[in-house]
Each structure stands twice: as C-alpha cells, then as structure tokens.
Structure 1
Amino acid sequence: MEVRLRTATGEDYHAVNAIIREGQEEHAEALPDRFAKLDHVVAMGWYRSFSDRTDKEIIVAEIGLHIVGVAMLEMKRSPNYEALVSRKYAYLNELAVAAAYQRQGIGKRLYQASVDWARAREAESLELNVWEFNERALRFYASLGMQTLNRTLTTNLLK
C-alpha cells in the first residue's frame, strides 16, 4: 500500500469533508450538547480560503485515487497583548484519517508533514485542540511528543 501526500485541490472537497465528518460524528455522539451531526462539516468557503495561500495548507493522504486522510493547517500569531510574548505558530485545525485506514501510519505521516510545513514557515510551535473524551487522539498526539499546554474548564449552569 503506497500512501502519497499532496496539497489538496478544489476537487478534493467532498472526500476531505467525508473524512472529517467521521470525526465530527464521533464528537457529536460523545458531546451532543457541543457538536452537531452535519453532512458538510467543512464549509466550502472555509475550504476555499486555504487555496493559493502561503499561510494555509490542506494536505491529503491518498492511496491510489482515494483520499484516506487530511491535515488542515494555518499560520497564526499570538494576540497583541502586553502580557503575552509575541510568537508565530502553526495551528492544526484538522488531522483525520478515514476509519478503515487508521493505525497504518497515515496519521503519523500527516503529522510529520504538518511539522515540516510549519518549520518551513518558521513557526515556533505546532498547536492543536483535542477534546478530553477523545482518549485515542490524546494517546496518539502524546506518542508523537505533544504535550498539554492548557485546558478549558466548564460548569453546566442548566442543571
């Protein structure tokens, strides 16, 4: 099985959306008060905003003619606030592999391609968010050397 990584095109929209939708459905089942079940998780306008930009990238993994994974990246800067050190970092909006192709090293390859992309743009770090319920993702990212930087806490006020 040869996996090829490449920059996504407009024609890849539906395949990318289908892969990200798998993860969205997992999130909607675990946290139905936070995540909706949608047919199109990735809005077309947002997807198109990654085209022809040096500060954004969608990388797809494909086997033959089938897209089996995706990483969506963008460069960011810390907020302009005196208490924060100014920094430039890459943000990994999405990293997803189709369920049938998980645990075959595709996610690791997409992650490494994301690191390489970020380094090429002189990012100081690569950052992402993971929801606490998603233990599989937490283990995956920890295995790659990522560390927890902060947590968002909540209190349900409707009880």
Structure 2
Amino acid sequence: MKTNKLGLPVKESEAIVKELNVLLSNYQVFYQNLRGLHWNIRGKRFFNLHVKFEEMYNDAQLKIDMIAERVLTIGGVPMHTFEDYIKNNKLAVGKNISKDEEAVNLIADSLANLLKIERKILDASANINDEGTNSMMSDFIKEQEKEIWMMNAYLDESL
C-alpha cells in the first residue's frame, strides 16, 4: 500500500481530501449566510443576535482556514473558487433574512447538514488512523452539537 509523507494511505487520503473540500465549500456558504444574517437581522433581539452572528462567522472563518490547511497537510489542494463552493454546497442559502426565528432556524439546519458531512469524514479518517483529521472533526462535531442545542433552546424561548 502506497502511503504519503504522513504515513497515511494515498488512495484513502485522496477520498478524505475530496470530502474535506466538500466541507470547506459548505463552510464558505455557512460563513456567508452568517455575514448576511449579521448585517440584516432586525427586531427586538437585534443586539443579542447581531453579536452572536458575528461570533459565529468569526468562528466559521477560523474553521475554514483549519479545513483548508488540513487538505494541504494530507496532500491535497483546497478548493478556493465560488464556482467550486456553489457546486459542492448542500446548505440552504439565506437571502434577505431579517427575522430572528428564520435566521436561527437557518443556522440550526445548516449546522445539522455540516454534521452529516463531518461524520462521514470522521468515519473515513478513523478507518485509516488519520488522527489529525479525526480530531478536528470530533472537535467540530462537539461544538456544533452544543450550538444546535442552544439554537433550539432559543427557538423554544421565542415562541
């Protein structure tokens, strides 16, 4: 079996790179959705949500960089064009959303879809002992599960 410089099997690493690029594409759309929500949110919860969305898009920006660097680390090339991002996107695109519940629902749904991609990567990376990718996915999953819980708690409170 041919391995890369990290000692990981090349063929399986290439498959993980492909999935990481899908995740990268979806994170770019998630990031842009968060920016739009931050800019356009209105209403009585403006101050709280405006700050929360900024916190989330800053976190997404860091994760985008981490994903791209992981792609490079295991021997791939990170996608970096809007064309690639749109082609690989699985998230709803939030356009002109200004209502709090609609915004929070978009975020919760987006995070749930990101989890699906991350769990697929987690399984693949575990199968080849790619601890770097596996650890990153575990961290992302743990944070996003908590974020979904908080978004759902917010929605219950605002009904």
TM range (shorter): 0.3 to 0.5
Return the TM-score normalized by structure 2: 0.34
Which one has the bigger helix percentage?
2
Which one has the bigger strand percentage?
1
Return the TM-score normalized by structure 1: 0.34
Work out which structure has the larger RCO, using CA pairs closer than 8 Å and 6 or more positions apart in sequence.
Answer: 2
